[in-house]
Amino acid sequence: MNKLSQHWKKFANGSIAALAGLTSSAYAVNDLPGGPAVRQLNLHVPATKLAADQANLHVFMMVICLVIFVAVFGVMFYSILKHRKSLGHKPAHFHESVKVEIAWTLAPFIIVIFMAIPATKTVIAQKDTSNADLTIKATGHQWRWGYDYIKGEGEGISFISSLDNEHRILSNSGAKGDMPDDYLLKVDNPLVVPVGKKIRIITTASDVIHSFAVPSFGIKQDAIPGFVRDTHFLAERTGMFYGQCQELCGKEHAYMPINVQVLSEADYAAWVQKKKAEAAPATAKNDAAAATQVAQAPASVKK
């Protein structure tokens, strides 16, 4: 073995060791249900019919692409190998075959229509936000989300949802040691919704463009200042689901996760009661303060 190959062998062994070290220490996290999985290659596990349709479409399109790829390259490589000059192949001398030209115009046309029909159906379903059971406004702020329950059970509830402070501290200290599975995805106040109900999300923003996205629900909608856009989902199972702002919105873009908690109908009703009870004393206090102000107002006007 010469010196150079010895050097490369050493280098390769070193790299493998370093890689093994990296994978075992840096990825000591587990799959996060409703969020990303370790070494995930495909889309998130769907939690809505729309997300399942998107995943099926994705596979369907990939299979068609693969078949076309194998067929085209198969014919090409077969021709190159079998019809080469060194085998004594004599080239054919025909051109302008009407039959072939019609075939290669029609075949892609049929394939495209075949792909467009299911894709169009899904895109239309994604855009249909009518007849929602619950309407929630999601406002993107630098760098947190504001949720206002506008219509349906829980109407009037509103709160701000920010990254869990523990995670911020972990990130500031260089993300060392044992990391939680929901690292940078956990928030203080998750968006709470009932299972099996059509939830319409209205998106807007107060400063720059953000994007409200939850991969397991198959939704992603830009939140644009001064504009109102909407999307919808109907979660088919309870649990925690995670997404992130998906429009680069400034230096804390990575620190404004979307955390949706899907509850059973009964649990959701209980959560609404709890939220209303929390808000009630505050509202009463505000009303009292307003009443005092009104009572004092005429006196100051008289001066």
Residues binding Cu ion (CB under 5 A): 210, 245, 249, 256
Q: How far is the CB of 279 from Cu ion (least distance, A)?
A: 27
Q: How far is the CB of 140 from Cu ion (least distance, A)?
A: 5
Nearest residue (CB) to Cu ion, 132 versus 163: 163
Q: How far is the CB of 154 from Cu ion (least distance, A)?
A: 24
Nearest residue (CB) to Cu ion, 158 versus 246: 246
Nearest residue (CB) to Cu ion, 256 versus 260: 256
Q: How far is the CB of 256 from Cu ion (least distance, A)?
A: 5
Nearest residue (CB) to Cu ion, 202 versus 272: 202
Q: How far is the CB of 145 from Cu ion (least distance, A)?
A: 8
Nearest residue (CB) to Cu ion, 44 versus 210: 210
Q: How far is the CB of 219 from Cu ion (least distance, A)?
A: 15
**Burial (Cβ within 10 Å: 0-12, 13-18, ≥19) of residue 231:** buried
Cis peptide before 104 (omega within 30 of 0): no
For residue 162, give the nearest of 192, 193, 194, 140 by alpha carbon: 140
Give the separation between CA 94 and CA 188, rounded to whole angstroms: 72
Give the separation between CA 146 and CA 125, rounded to whole angstroms: 26
For residue 255, give the nearest of 174, 175, 190, 168 by alpha carbon: 168
Give the separation between CA 25 and CA 32, rounded to whole angstroms: 18
Give the separation between CA 228 and CA 205, rounded to whole angstroms: 9
Nearest residue (CB) to Cu ion, 146 versus 239: 146
Q: Do 228 and 202 touch, CB atoms closer than 8 A?
A: yes
Q: Do 145 and 207 touch, CB atoms closer than 8 A?
A: no
Give the separation between CA 145 and CA 166, rounded to whole angstroms: 18
